[in-house]
Amino acid sequence: MSGAEGGPRVERRFADAYARAGADWAAADAAACAARAGCALTPGGVLVPFFGAPYLVSYPQGAVTAAGRQVHVAVAILLLHYLLTAGGAPPAGRWAAYRELQGGLFYSTSFAARAEAPLARAFAADVAGLEVFRAAAARLGGEPLDLGDAAASFRVLPRVPVAVLVWLGDDEMPGEAKVLFDAGAGGYLPPEDLAGLGGQLAGRLAAAGAESRP
């Protein structure tokens, strides 16, 4: 499908999803949602830490802003879904592949192409790539993990830790990257949104990596 054909459909899909999420948010108990999501309730709405920055979800309007500016509708939908879906359980404390999450198997192939393959291309080609990954992860507030050839965890949302693992390739196997989620992530976002979250993390890492290269 060409951009001309797909663009309006994609925008309509976003508009419909945002309208539904906004209606659900207007009818929700903002204080209860904030408590379950690990977020702060303010007079203007709920503050949601997202990639380390505060995003304000207004109540009952459902407008989402960061640094006083309205965010992309896809981010607004994701944060509304996070507040609406949050079950309140603490993180499980163990990592799970996307396909292991409830509903994740259906989207696992597209998730691998969308999030994991670009990370492998960006960081798994050689040892220098691992150093670039470590620098990029640090720039995004990542905490090093003793997994793979290089790895880091990210508190993307208050109760949804995400990890990225990178392995170098060799003469027989290409380099590889994996995005892992806390095993309880399904209690905070549906699988489509978790895929989007992983894709956003991959994009931010790749951009930070490009800036970190000499």
List, in sequence order, every residue forming a beta bridge with 56; answer none if it has no partner. 47, 65
How large is the average pLDDT for residues 35-40? Answer: 98
Question: pLDDT grade, residue 214 (50/70/90)?
Answer: low
Task: Measure the CA angle with vertex 156, ends 35 and 23; round to 5°.
Answer: 50
Q: Is the pLDDT of residue 97 over 80?
A: yes
140 and 208 Cβ atoms separated by less than 8 Å:
yes
pLDDT in tens, 154-196: 999 999 999 999 999 887 889 999 999 999 999 999 999 999 9
pLDDT in tens, 7-16: 555 478 889 9
Closest CA to 57 of 72, 69, 73, 44: 44
Q: Could you give the percent of the chain with pLDDT greater than 90?
A: 88
How large is the average pLDDT for residues 120-137? Answer: 96
Rounded Cα–Cα distance for residues 6 and 54 (Å): 32
Would you state the structure tokens that stand for residue 138, as one six-digit string?
């640090």
162 and 154 Cβ atoms separated by less than 8 Å:
yes
Q: Is the pLDDT of residue 80 over 70?
A: yes
Task: State the pLDDT at residue 10.
Answer: 47
Task: State the pLDDT at residue 12.
Answer: 80
When the pLDDT of each residue in the chain is averaged and rounded to a whole number, the result is 93
Task: State the pLDDT at residue 8.
Answer: 53
Task: State the pLDDT at residue 7.
Answer: 53
Q: Is the pLDDT of residue 57 over 80?
A: yes
List, in sequence order, every residue forming a beta bridge with 176; answer none if it has no partner. 167
Would you state the structure tokens that stand for residue 180, as one six-digit string?
């892992």
pLDDT in tens, 1-36: 233 344 555 478 889 999 999 999 999 999 999 999
How large is the average pLDDT for residues 123-140? Answer: 96
SS3 assignment, position 101: coil
At residue 20, what are phi and psi to the nearest 5 degrees?
-65, -45
Task: State the pLDDT at residue 6.
Answer: 47
Task: State the pLDDT at residue 170.
Answer: 81
